[in-house]
Chains A and B, each alone.
Chain A
Amino acid sequence: MEATAGGKREYSIIVPTYNERLNIALIVYLIFKHLPDVNFEIIIVDDGSPDGTQDIVKQLQQVYGEDRVLLRARPRKLGLGTAYLHGLKHASGEFVVIMDADLSHHPKYLPSFIRKQKETGADVVTGTRYVKNGGVHGWNLMRKLTSRGANVLAQTLLQPGASDLTGSFRLYKRDVLEDLISSCVSKGYVFQMEMIVRATRKGCHIEEVPITFVDRVFGTSKLGGSEIVGYLKGLVYLLLTT
């Protein structure tokens, strides 16, 4: 599908990056590989990575075209929610996909997001790791336990309308995303939870697709007490304000 003269796209894929010099190249290659006949653009929101991520993006623009790979950088780390907002400002797609840059989200699932949205007309299609055809690799027992415990607690208290609350591999209708982001104030993974809970409260049509999640980063970052406290605080906040 060729772009129209105005350059309007059907799908904008926003990828926030920080020090993802190698992964961003791999991700862009895989996206183009798995979406051969789709009218999309990739918007890379880099927060001033010191490792030269932006130089790699410029090289990728030579290979794939500046109209398909957009670099919209920011001076320093300014947070995920604002990264999505920043990407949205430059997105011309009717639908917006958000995904991580570290290859835990594999672009091969993008066709299934698109297909699900077309079949059901959903406002939000969210990837879930916790169903039969999904899964996680690279988590030890403790990590799985905290994940499962957190999930049961959140499901009981919040009735969120999705099985994977903290996931950040999602497809949104563009106006739905704009509306949700403007009403969410949390940070980090609680932000992802807040997005999906608010979407459910507003009556959005939410569908799920199974995804697999290969965590190559986990070994380097532990899930400590402060993360758990932060999560509980986030739960209470969502309980009281949504």
Chain B
Amino acid sequence: MKHIFKIVAILVAISAIWVALLETSTVPRSCAWLLPIYLVVALGCYGLFMVGFGLMFFPTCPQEAVLLQQDIVEAKEFLGKKGVDVGSE
């Protein structure tokens, strides 16, 4: 089953719940009308939070750049001795 069908199914289920809430008036109508907007705003907030949180704790590795330079020196030395042309372009 394509993934989009799952998403559509979830949206349909949410819509059905919303319509049911509107019809049965267990929740005051004026409040129920706005529920979809609350949901969208909540989703947006969740998304922003996930982006911000991920950005704050974005894994970095500055030491790797140093190690890489060491590896490059080691490689050039070995290959140069073996006759491989390791001059820069």
A-side interface residues toward B, CB under 8 Å? 19, 21-22, 25-26, 29-30, 51, 55-56, 59-60, 62-63, 103, 106, 129-138, 141, 144-145, 148-149, 151-153, 156-159, 201, 212-214, 239-242
Contacts and interface: CB of A to CB of B under 8 A. Distances in A.
Nearest to B64: A212
Contacts of B79: 25-26, 29, 60, 63
18 contacts: A22-B86, A22-B88, A25-B79, A26-B71, A30-B75, A51-B89, A59-B83, A60-B84, A130-B59, A134-B59, A135-B59, A135-B60, A137-B64, A144-B58, A145-B55, A148-B54, A152-B51, A214-B61
B49 to A, nearest CB: 9
Interface in B30-70: 47, 50-51, 54-55, 58-62, 64-65, 68
B52 to A, nearest CB: 9
Contacts of B58: 130, 136, 144, 148
A59 B84 contact: yes
Contacts of A59: 83-85
- Output the residue of A30, A129, A152, A241 with the most chain B CB within 10 A: A152
B3 A239 contact: yes
The prevalent SS among residues of B at the interface is helix
Nearest to A144: B58
B5 to A, nearest CB: 10
B61 to A, nearest CB: 3
Interface residues of B, number: 31
Interface of B: 2-4, 7, 47, 50-51, 54-55, 58-62, 64-65, 68, 71-72, 75-76, 78-79, 82-89
B6 to A, nearest CB: 9
Contacts of B61: 134-137, 212-214
B54 A151 contact: yes
B70 to A, nearest CB: 11
Contacts of A137: 60-62, 64-65
B89 A26 contact: no
Contacts of B72: 26, 103
A130 B51 CA distance: 13
A103 B75 CA distance: 12
Nearest to B3: A242
